[in-house]
Chain A
């Protein structure tokens, strides 16, 4: 009598495997994530000069947003949680982490921070770029590229704030705990 199918599969498990997917699949994924021009270039730049990197990153984020202005649908009144629950969950997670970082950064004296008011405004969670992306998503709730752009926006911002904090800590600057110039809006 032949052995049981389950036992046979267990004993020859590796032989059932085929080589992985086409090497081009990663390229397609990377393109879909919209990260080819963003993340890969920003990180080494930040290492050299975080302030310039901050400005470049903000420009990249803002430039990316312009793409979504091309088409606009009529305004629909619905919350993000209903229209795009997956993005709403990401928003909760990233907002909390971004706001933690912003509080730490804002505790530093302005002169140590070295950012002008416009740059500080850009670092806030709900800047113009964010509002535009969120509005576009509400107008086009099923648009995967807008969803990806919003997630990417959160990720880049979080990474950028981390780099700024690392830089400040490396300079051994002591934060002035009582000095808070603005509270992050949620």
Chain B
């Protein structure tokens, strides 16, 4: 993953806790769930774009975490490991909804003229609502890169598409977000 700030809960997860989880200690697993469910829910919500799918996906992912806890080598890698399971479940949820990540039409990114003279401001709510309106494919790539800190190479592997496609989709997604936020600024 790219080196950047993570949004995970900083609760101390020790090898002892992981070992207790491996032995089926429910209280230990609940501690693990409490430490990560908040951040993981945010990933699910960003990826699936609705509360119901996000909760279903998170539930399935944590059941998978429980089932595969024996595969986790040490507590040090628990964060990235759980996150990857959650992201994979989100992608499966999207695939079930017939979201295709490969874009058959390679269209050049449209960049408006006169960017240097633009005057508008980003706000968290405007960016969030702009991302929500993106097509699933664009939103997925943008979320994985911008919020979940995966590299284009990792995203390409996850989605089964080429690295150049993820880069193109990311640029187009970013451009669309910029245009939507700019429009929102103009109508204020």
Which residues of A line the B interface, CB within 8 A? 1-3, 5-6, 8-10, 12-22, 25-26, 28-30, 32-33, 35-36, 38-40, 43, 86, 89-90, 93-94, 144, 147-148, 151-152, 155-156, 158-159, 162
Contact = CB atoms under 8 A, between A and B. Distances in A.
Contacts of B30: 26, 30
Nearest to A8: B122
Interface of B: 4-5, 7, 22-27, 29-30, 33, 37-39, 41-42, 45, 54-55, 58-59, 62-63, 66-68, 70-71, 115-122, 124, 127-128, 146-147, 174, 177-178
A156 B70 contact: no
A90 B65 CA distance: 12
B5 A32 contact: no
Interface of A (DSSP majority class): helix
A40 B27 contact: yes
A26 B29 CA distance: 10
A10 B58 contact: no
B121 to A, nearest CB: 6
A12 B59 contact: no
Contacts of A5: 122, 127, 146, 174, 177-178
Contact of A33 (B26, B27, B120): B26
Contacts of B7: 13-14, 17
Contacts of A1: 115-119
Most B CB within 10 A of own CB, among A22, A39, A86, A148: A39
B37 A94 contact: no
Nearest to A161: B23
B64 to A, nearest CB: 8
Given A17-B7, A20-B41, A156-B24, A93 B70 contact: yes
Contacts of A6: 146, 174
A142 B59 CA distance: 18
A2 B58 contact: no
Contacts of A19: 38
A17 B42 contact: yes
A32 B54 CA distance: 17
B118 A2 contact: yes
A28 to B, nearest CB: 6
